[in-house]
Amino acid sequence: MNGPAQPAQAGKIDQVVAEDLVKRFGNFVAVDHVSFRIASGEIMGFLGPNGAGKSTIIRTLCGLLRPSSGRAIVAGIDVARDPEGVRQHIGYMSQKFSLYRDLTVEENLEFFGGIYSVPRAELRERMRFAIDMAGLAGREQAMVGTLAGGWLQRLALGCAVLHRPPILFLDEPTSGVEPASRRRFWDLIHNLASEGVTVLVSTHYMEEAEYCHRIALINHGRLIATGSPAKLKQTGIGGDLLLLECDALGPMLEALQHAPNVRDCSVFGDALHLLVDNAEKSLAEIPDFLASKGLHPRRISRISPSLEDVFVQLIAADVAAAGKAA
């Protein structure tokens, strides 16, 4: 099922709109009736496993792929009708690093400045901004191929924002970058958003999703849920979450499959997460049930779900629903 489209924040225009978007490659459905809206200045995060269709949606919104059906509207322009019209309004960072490695930092920036026809009078200043933003001051003449991952990503972002696009599409911009650099990269994204830039960013790092204003969970080309991280954690799993610590996970897991009012039970590290309808009721019920089986957990307590819990739960529910539908 599609998540409900979020109403736009008051007074702001939706910069990116997907309506019932479908993209097929032969018989394979890469994007399956996806709808969402992103308001101006909002950071929307696409969260999902590799191959879920995140890149395909982004490429379709950039006009690089033609949608099989449905509509994509970016900066008020129908992408399928006028893909060229969209280009000047967007900045794009593809999943694979796609700047020229045999050009220097400065030469890459000059190239994109020329391609986007950045006014000459402003080009120096904007290049300066991009270089400072990427932390590449003093390395202007360095061949891009010699730079480390974090710098590459920030330079790619610098090239993508050189023409001051109101909309940014960032496809897994931080994959393969060390955590400190990732943190810094997200600071940059937040700065841009605070200046009104609309950002659509995909990631498969759960912790990064927390930095987004809103998240869209994507699996098998379907948009399973959208909402702010807080809201998703609150409502996304449709129940309460208990943490159970014990010595022998195997027998415990086995026994809990048959425990009353336990909807799901899964291993998280060296403990178990239990999804229950009502935390208080189960906190009273479960120790007795386990005792009757001769099992004694070290500790059992209520926890607030992480995004990962929500994601695992929603995907499981989605798979179950799809199975029932078929």
Partner 1 sequence: MRFRRLRAIALKELLQIWRDPRSLMIALLMPFTQMFLLGYGVTLDLKHIPVCTFDREASQNSQSLLKHFEASSYFAIARNVRTYPELISAIDRSDCKIAIVVPPDFSERLNDTGTSSVQAILDATDDNTANIAYGYAVAIVSGYSNDVALDALGRQGGELQQIQPVAVQSRVWFNEDLDSRNFIIPGLVAVIMALVGAQLTSLTISREWERGTMELLVSTPVTPSEVMVGKLAPYLALGWIDASFCLIIATLWFGVPFRGTLFTLFATTTLFLTVVLGIGYLLSVLIRSQIGASQVALLLTMLPTTLLSGYVFPIDQMPTIIQDITYLVYSRYYVTIIKAIFLKGAGIAALAVPILFLLVYAAAVMTLAARAFRKRLD
One of 111, 129, 268, 289 touching partner 1 (CB under 8 A): 111
Decide: is 100 part of the binding site for partner 1 (CB under 8 A): yes
Position among 5, 22, 64, 316 found at the interface with partner 1 (CB under 8 A):
64
CB of 169 to partner 1, least distance (A): 8
In the complex with partner 1, the residue whose CB is nearer, 107 or 285, is 107
Q: Which stretch binds partner 1 (CB under 8 A): 56-64, 195-203, 234-242, 304-312?
A: 56-64
* Of positions 21, 34, 62, 256, contacts partner 1 by CB under 8 A: 62
Give the one residue of 92, 185, 186, 311 binding partner 1; rule: CB under 8 A.
Answer: 92
- Taking CB under 8 A as the rule, does residue 78 contact partner 1? no
Which of 243, 284, 240 is CA-nearest to residue 267? 243
Q: Beta partners for 34? A: 21
- Kindly state the tokens that stand for 129: 């901004």
Toward partner 1, which CB reaches closer, 24 or 231?
24
Q: How many residues bind partner 1 (CB under 8 A)?
A: 31
Fill in the DSSP letter of residue 104: B
AA identity, residue 310? V
* Residue 110 lies near partner 1 (rule: CB under 8 A): yes
Contacts of 16 (CB under 8 A, 6+ apart): 36, 37, 38, 44, 61, 73, 74, 167, 198, 200
The partner residues of 268 in beta bridges, in order of sequence, read 271
SS3 39: strand
Pair 15, 167: CB distance under 8 Å: yes
Helix spans in the chain (H) = 54-61, 83-87, 105-115, 120-133, 149-161, 179-194, 206-209, 229-235, 249-256, 279-292, 307-325
Between 110 and 207, whose beta carbon lies closer to partner 1? 110
> Stretches 32-40, 62-70, 127-135, 309-317: which one binds partner 1 (CB under 8 A)?
62-70
- Does residue number 3 form part of the binding site for partner 1 (CB under 8 A)? no
* Sites of contact with partner 1 (CB under 8 A): 25, 59, 62-66, 83-84, 87-88, 90, 92, 94, 96-103, 107, 110-117
